[in-house]
Amino acid sequence: MTGLLNFLLPSKNMELSQEQIQQIVQEATESLKLKLKSDLMAGLEPAIRSTAQQVVRQHVESWISENVLPSVTIMLEEGKASLEASAIEGASLIAEELAEAMKKSAHTSLQSSLYRRRIFEALFSS
């Protein structure tokens, strides 16, 4: 705009006509409008993006709840007996393995204890 003023006012003694003043004001107004619009959009863009993401997320969650979860629930209900049987079988196998491990541990401890007893008897019986 300064360039326009310098072009319109080559010397400081020259006066501006009403038409020239209106043209300068109109150009300045348009420039200000564009700058304000640009600044406003730059400020709103993150808020718009965030709101859009939130709305999309809510829509997707709603769609999944309405369309996917019922199918998953039906599949789980249909396989419930099999899942229960597998869980019971797994628990049984774990109990058997645990009992076997405890038995081995007790046997090793008892054996170690017997060896110690024999060692002490041999040392102190002489």
CA distances, 69 to each of 59, 73, 74 (Å): 15, 6, 9
Nearest to 20 by CA among 8, 11, 30: 8
Residue whose structure tokens are 């020239």: 20
pLDDT tens string 9-26: 555 556 778 888 888 888
Provide the pLDDT for residue 64.
Answer: 94
Provide the pLDDT for residue 43.
Answer: 81
Q: How many CB atoms lie within 10 A of CB 96?
A: 10
Choose the weakest-confidence range: 14-18, 70-74, 75-79: 14-18
pTM above 0.85, yes or no: no
Return the structure tokens found at 108: 């090793």
Q: Mean pLDDT over residues 48-74, rounded?
A: 93
How far is residue 58's CA from residue 54's CA, in Å, rounded to a whole number?
A: 6
How far is residue 114's CA from residue 76's CA, in Å, rounded to a whole number?
A: 54
| pLDDT at residue 1 tops 90 | no
Q: Please provide the DSSP assignment of 9-76 as one string.
A: -SSTTPPPPHHHHHHHHHHHHHHHHHHHHHHHHHHHHHHHHHHHHHHHHHHHHHHIIIIIHHHHHHHH
* Confidence class for position 94, pLDDT limits 50, 70, 90: very high
